Chains A and B, each alone.
Chain A
Amino acid sequence: MVLTRESLLNYLSTELGLHTDEIDDDTLLFSSSLLDSFSMVDLIAFIEKEAAISISPTEVSLDNLDSVERILKFVQNHS
């Protein structure tokens, strides 16, 4: 399965309540407190399911997961 920008934005909007028309791909989601910790837990579960990957605790970082752009890049490079 593939995680698309559209499906990611749709999840952020419908499940996590973000106004995705107000965020850019490089908007910081977690460090800016748009998402709280438990929303991040749900988001990671969504990414894992949608992209059919397993994210290890060592991969959980702001570099990998703090924006739409970073998430898509991280998933794209995930082996």
Chain B
Amino acid sequence: MVEIKPLRMPDFETVATWLSNPAINQWLASGWRGKQVDAKTLAIITMKSVNRLFLVRYQGVPCGLVALGCIDTLDKTGTLWYLLGNPAHSGRGTMTEAVRQVIRVAFSELGLRSIMASIMVGNISSRRVLEKNGFKEVGILRQALTFNGQAVDRILFDLLAVDLATPS
């Protein structure tokens, strides 16, 4: 069973370890990349209302993080990002379900109208998580990311609350 809960102090260390793991860190936004993340960093991130971080647990065991950042209550938008901390859960649909639950929070509880997400070109597993949750590809920012020293494209997705309300 997959569940999400707001990220709080006792779990900061666990999540900081994931974020600092080079295998995970290399995929993160530039602000995180190459940095050693600690519990203090997460305390800072979570104390700002524009960020909502959720710990993902599978059968009670922490295994990932789903976050909404850049929450704009005026334009009713937010940016989704996520990571799987425990690779043993890869391919099981854990993140797909966790993202689905966060989307519900975003639209129902926070009243957002649109959620944006992006992936590095070629990140198939991350793309699958978005597409299974109804995200639509809306554009490509060419050479907008640096990966292993190379410029790579960033693919943009969005999901509207009305998309979920309207049967496709």
Contact = CB atoms under 8 A, between A and B. Distances in A.
B100 to A, nearest CB: 26
Given A37-B31, A38-B31, A61 B40 contact: no
A57 B39 contact: yes
A30 B48 contact: yes
Interface residues of B, number: 17
A41 interface: yes
Contacts of B40: 41, 44, 55-57, 60
Contacts, number: 39
Contacts of A30: 44, 47-48
A57 B12 contact: yes
A61 to B, nearest CB: 6
A58 to B, nearest CB: 7
B42 A57 contact: yes
Instruction: Bin chain A's interface residue count.
Output: 10 to 19
B41 A62 contact: no
B105 interface: no
A7 interface: no
A48 to B, nearest CB: 9
A44 B39 CA distance: 13
Contacts of B43: 57-58, 60-61
Given A60-B47, A61-B43, 11 more contacts: A30-B44, A30-B47, A31-B48, A36-B31, A37-B31, A37-B48, A37-B51, A40-B44, A41-B44, A57-B38, A60-B40
Interface of A: 30-31, 33, 36-38, 40-41, 44, 55-58, 60-62
